[in-house]
């Protein structure tokens, strides 16, 4: 069974997609999830391009990763700079990663028109950059940008670019279909020729502009490539990158390659939904393998057959990727997921427990209202404990009021929240201001509780996201609020849903506080 290296570039290539903008904290949360599933390489960004990526590389060094190696990404040195004085290469080394990926031109058209240098000078850029970096880090990967277009127009020169990187000590030569227009049979022929000409580890990096990125990646592996690059859910510039959520099961389940272990593969759907939630994007129901509809059955003939044997209309067992089959006229999915999550939370729940159906019914009702617990596992853990009778109430709301006032056109609005709580036999009534209504409510809630629970002073609100759930209703639409909170040791996500954004925020805030208090008691 041949081992395939999985190289994720969601945090760099994926972040270049329209409508996606990851904060540093978003990137750190996704990094932890990618590590949990066993991704071999995580490309964190381009440290020389913007302050956000530079900050990420500082903070990611503090994450205790188990499986993954963090990769810094950049380009070959500029033609006007000596390699040892190039700011881009210096920023890559300052990121202090064990692995660096640099891209260089392999299409003579780009060398002449974009770089405005000779073909020989470009070969020097590649060789000098790779050899310089290789002296300082464990591994250097070379991304041959526009390789397939370059090979089409000038195969001899495209191969020379690879050989320059190989001679300089690159650990893997990655063939990039940067414009995403190459078709599978061409990929097959070119990769076979490269491996014949250059006996060296090859990788594949494809874009999806012709809807062939997954097929192109798989066929390159079949031809002998050892590393595949892509993004979760196919995020990426223009039409996206190769989708690892399809590539990984195609390679492992269908073709017998080793990508992840079986337990990690079962978390693939969870990872897909987690990244969507952090990106604040709707889940694509019809996404292969991990989508809600991937194993859903509605037609009468299909339902009848699947009820006898799921293999009649399912190409794999959905549990292999963390999914489940669904019969849409009577939904049967969900129990296995609940049992698995209960086990993760150290909650004893047996498959034959009558409480399991109660939990499933409540979960379906909440999902119908718009709740989603991917990215909000703290809220889901609290829900389970409430339904099983394990939950402890730390305070009760008597009431709150939030006021937003704007006194002059050119002044910022003023937000103030007043809150009254009951903690045991004590009534606490206080007020606080904030830079917005939710911030003011959060401040008032904490202020009322600090006297009773001083450990809440360590809790910080790291992120706050709002998603409109009911399109077409304008400002009266139902919204989902996702909050990320944390203390010195961990972070957690909570969720709230309502037509009133303050109420949805309140639900998520209360779950965040209760989760912290419950966590500290255990």
3-state secondary structure 113-126: HHHCCCHHHHHHHH
Q: Does domain 5-279 have CATH number 3.30.530.20?
A: no
Q: Token match 């059955």: residue? A: 297
Tokens (6 digits) for 383: 């829900």
Taking the C-alpha atoms of residue 356 and residue 39, their distance in angstroms, rounded to an integer, is 33
The 10 Å Cβ neighbour count of residue 113 is 9
Per-residue pLDDT reduced to its tens digit, 24-49: 999 999 999 999 999 999 999 999 78
Taking the C-alpha atoms of residue 303 and residue 95, their distance in angstroms, rounded to an integer, is 54
Taking the C-alpha atoms of residue 367 and residue 60, their distance in angstroms, rounded to an integer, is 33
Q: What residue ranges of the chain have pLDDT lower than 70?
A: 298-304, 306-307, 326-334, 336-337, 340, 471-475
Taking the C-alpha atoms of residue 22 and residue 460, their distance in angstroms, rounded to an integer, is 19
pTM of the model: 0.75
Give the DSSP per-residue string, 234-246. G--STT-B-BHHH
**Given this structure, which CATH class describes domain 295-328?**
few secondary structures
Q: Token match 């805030």: residue? A: 509
Is residue 279 within 8 A of residue 302, CB to CB? The reply is: no
Give the DSSP per-residue string, 471-504. TT-GGG--EEEEEEEE-SS-EEEEEEEESSHHHH
**Residue among 138, 134, 178 nearest 158 (CA):** 178
Which parts of 435-475 fold into alpha helices (H)? 437-449
Instruction: At 77, give phi and psi (nearest 5°).
Output: -65, 155
Q: Domain limits of the chain?
A: 5-279, 295-328, 395-452
Of 1.10.10, 3.30.390, 3.90.1200, 3.30.160, which CATH number belongs to 395-452? 3.30.160
Per-residue pLDDT reduced to its tens digit, 112-167: 998 999 999 999 999 999 999 999 999 999 999 999 999 999 999 999 999 999 99
pLDDT value for 466: 92
Is residue 182 within 8 A of residue 216, CB to CB? The reply is: yes
123-135 burial, b if ≥16 CB within 10 A, otherwise e?
bbbbbbbbbbbbe
Taking the C-alpha atoms of residue 83 and residue 200, their distance in angstroms, rounded to an integer, is 25
* Complete edge-to-edge strand list for the sheet that includes strand 426-434: 396-405, 414-423, 426-434
């Amino acid at each position: 069974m041949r081992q395939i290296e999985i190289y994720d570039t969601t945090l760099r290539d994926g972040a270049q997609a329209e409508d996606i903008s990851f904060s540093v904290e978003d990137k750190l949360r996704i990094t932890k999830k990618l590590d949990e599933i066993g991704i071999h390489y995580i490309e964190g960004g381009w440290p020389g391009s913007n302050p956000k990526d530079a900050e990420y590389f500082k903070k990611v060094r503090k994450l205790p990763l188990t499986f993954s190696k963090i990769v810094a990404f950049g380009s070959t040195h500029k033609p006007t700079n000596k390699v040892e004085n190039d700011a881009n290469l210096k920023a890559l080394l300052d990121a202090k990663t064990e692995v660096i990926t640099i891209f260089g031109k392999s299409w003579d058209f780009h060398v002449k028109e974009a770089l405005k240098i000779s073909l020989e000078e470009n070969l020097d850029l590649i060789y000098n950059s790779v050899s310089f970096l290789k002296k300082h880090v464990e591994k250097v990967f070379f991304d041959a940008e526009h390789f397939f277009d370059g090979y089409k127009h000038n195969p001899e020169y495209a191969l020379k670019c690879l050989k320059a990187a190989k001679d300089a000590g690159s650990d893997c030569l990655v063939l990039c279909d940067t414009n995403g227009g190459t078709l599978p049979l061409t990929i097959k022929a070119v990769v076979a020729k490269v491996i014949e000409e250059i006996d060296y580890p090859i990788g594949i990096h494809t874009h999806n502009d012709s809807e062939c990125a997954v097929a192109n990646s798989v066929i390159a592996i079949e031809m002998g490539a050892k590393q595949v690059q892509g993004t979760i859910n196919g995020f990426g510039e223009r039409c996206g990158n190769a989708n690892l959520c399809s590539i990984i099961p195609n390679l492992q389940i269908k073709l017998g390659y080793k990508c992840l272990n079986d337990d990690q593969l079962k978390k693939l759907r969870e990872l897909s939904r987690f990244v969507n939630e952090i990106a604040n994007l709707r889940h694509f129901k019809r996404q292969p393998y991990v989508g809600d509809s991937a194993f859903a059955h509605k037609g009468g003939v299909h339902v009848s057959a699947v009820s006898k044997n799921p293999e009649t209309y399912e190409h794999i067992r959905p549990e292999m990727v963390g999914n489940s089959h669904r019969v849409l006229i009577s939904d049967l999915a969900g129990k296995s997921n609940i049992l698995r999550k209960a086990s993760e939370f150290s909650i004893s729940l047996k498959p034959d427990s009558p409480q399991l159906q109660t939990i499933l019914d409540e979960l379906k009702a909440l999902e119908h209202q718009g709740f989603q617990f991917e990215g909000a596992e703290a809220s889901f853990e609290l829900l389970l404990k409430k339904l099983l009778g394990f939950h402890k109430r730390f305070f009760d709301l008597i009431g709150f009021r939030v006021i937003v006032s704007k006194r002059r056109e050119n002044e910022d609005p003023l937000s103030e929240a007043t809150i009254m709580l009951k903690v045991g036999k004590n009534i606490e009534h206080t007020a606080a201001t904030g830079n917005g209504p939710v911030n003011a409510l959060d401040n008032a809630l904490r202020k009322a509780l600090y006297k009773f629970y001083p450990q809440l002073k360590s809790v910080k609100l790291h992120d706050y996201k709002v998603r409109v759930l009911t399109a077409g209703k304008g400002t009266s639409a139902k919204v989902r609020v996702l909050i990320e909170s944390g203390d010195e040791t961990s972070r957690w996500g909570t969720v709230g849903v309502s037509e009133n954004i303050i109420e949805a925020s309140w639900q998520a805030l209360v779950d965040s506080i209760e989760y912290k208090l419950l966590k500290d008691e255990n």
